[in-house]
Amino acid sequence: MDATHSKSAFVYGQVRRALQSGRYAPGQRIDPATLAA
């Protein structure tokens, strides 16, 4: 697994868990800069 795929998989997992936990409301925009931080 290369570094780019690893980072992508990590971020995907983090966003997925945040969505499932209710951290983001339905329809709420997710700011890419916030994710990057």
User: Would the pLDDT of 30 be above 60?
Assistant: yes
Q: What is the mean pLDDT of residues 14-29?
A: 91
Mean pLDDT value across residues 5-30: 90
User: From the CB of residue 24, how many other CB atoms can be counted at a distance below 10 Å?
Assistant: 13
Distance CA 17, CA 9 (A): 12
pLDDT at 21: 96
Place of tokens 């995907």: 12
Cβ atoms within 10 Å of 7's Cβ, excluding its own:
10
The per-residue pLDDT for 32 is 86
Looking at the whole model, is its pTM more than 0.75? no
Residues 4-13 have pLDDT tens digits of 678 889 889 9
